[in-house]
């Protein structure tokens, strides 16, 4: 039972919406309230309750969407957003427009899926499609790569030597491959270890596999 949770259904004032409110109450055991206009949303300073907004994107669009977006973003910190009746092809775009979004349900989603997903969000999890999660993870890895590569400040030669280390080559083999002296290779590797804040070749290779 989610005693400290409250769910707002953002949708049109209709028989269908009221039926959905009843369905959600009976299956989620939380307070559920229907709101059709942003003006109905009163600011809360309740820090003990987790507030969730279940937004029907078939209902809000244009200026109304902007008004709801502004109203929800002005809410308390303990807030999560769930979007339903969405277009599958717009899922990644929606995450950019609604940063508080913790779950997305497409127009084809069944009611049992909706309940299961909302319960996951209540438990602090996310509910997105596999393709969206994959895209978000890829984006995160790219940002991390860009973050760490400039931080390391490796020179082109150091990167070249590190790539040789990744193949398992010894210092002598690297020197022969790059037409350098073994002493020069050791000097470059010393700088690489220092910049990456690692202690050995294994740790350097682990870093390189992630960011190069």
- Stretch 192-212: mean pLDDT, rounded? 88
Which of 21-25, 52-56, 74-78, 97-101 comes out lowest in average pLDDT?
Answer: 74-78
At the second CATH level, the architecture of 136-211 is: Orthogonal Bundle (1.10)
CA–CA distance, 180 with 203 (Å, rounded to integer): 24
Q: What pLDDT score does 77 carry?
A: 64
Work out the mean pLDDT of the chain and round it to a whole number.
Answer: 86
Q: What CATH code is assigned to 5-128?
A: 3.40.50.2300
- Stretch 38-62: mean pLDDT, rounded? 81
174 has a pLDDT exceeding 90: yes
- Stretch 95-107: mean pLDDT, rounded? 86
Q: DSSP letter string over 162-177?
A: HHHHHTT--HHHHHHH
More reliable by pLDDT, 94 or 58:
58
> pLDDT grade, residue 190 (50/70/90)?
very high
More reliable by pLDDT, 157 or 74:
157
180 has a pLDDT exceeding 90: yes
More reliable by pLDDT, 43 or 79:
79
128 has a pLDDT exceeding 60: yes
CA–CA distance, 116 with 120 (Å, rounded to integer): 6
Give pLDDT tens digits for 130-173.
Answer: 888 887 787 777 766 666 555 568 899 999 999 999 999 999 99
Q: DSSP letter string over 105-145?
A: EETT--HHHHHHHHHHHHTT--B--HHHHHHHHHHHHHHHH
Delimiting residues of CATH 1.10.10.10 domain(s) in the chain: 136-211
- Stretch 51-67: mean pLDDT, rounded? 86
Delimiting residues of CATH 3.40.50.2300 domain(s) in the chain: 5-128
Closest CA to 81 of 130, 126, 132, 38: 126
Q: What pLDDT score does 1 carry?
A: 45
Q: What pLDDT score does 44 carry?
A: 61
Share of the chain above pLDDT 90, in %: 48
Q: What pLDDT score does 43 carry?
A: 66
Bridge pairing between strands 50-56 and 101-106: unpaired
């Amino acid at each position: 039972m989610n005693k400290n949770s409250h769910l707002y259904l953002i949708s049109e004032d209709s028989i269908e919406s009221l039926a959905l409110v009843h369905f959600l109450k009976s299956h989620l055991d939380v307070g559920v309230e229907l709101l059709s206009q942003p003006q109905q949303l009163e600011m809360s300073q309740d820090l003990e309750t987790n507030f969730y907004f279940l937004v029907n994107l078939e209902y809000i669009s244009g200026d109304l969407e902007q008004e709801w977006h502004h109203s929800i973003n002005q809410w308390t910190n303990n807030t999560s957003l769930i979007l339903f009746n969405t277009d599958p092809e717009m899922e990644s775009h929606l995450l950019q427009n609604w940063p508080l979004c913790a779950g997305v349900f497409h127009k084809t989603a069944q009611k049992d899926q909706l309940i299961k997903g909302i319960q996951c969000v209540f438990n602090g999890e996310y509910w997105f499609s596999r393709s969206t999660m994959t895209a978000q993870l890829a984006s995160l890895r790219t940002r991390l790569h860009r973050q760490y590569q400039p931080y390391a400040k490796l020179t082109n030669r150091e990167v070249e030597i590190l790539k040789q280390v990744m193949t398992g080559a010894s210092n002598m083999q690297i020197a022969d491959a790059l037409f350098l002296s073994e002493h020069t290779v050791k000097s470059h590797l010393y700088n690489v270890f220092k910049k990456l804040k690692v202690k050995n070749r294994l740790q350097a290779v682990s870093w390189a596999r992630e960011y190069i």
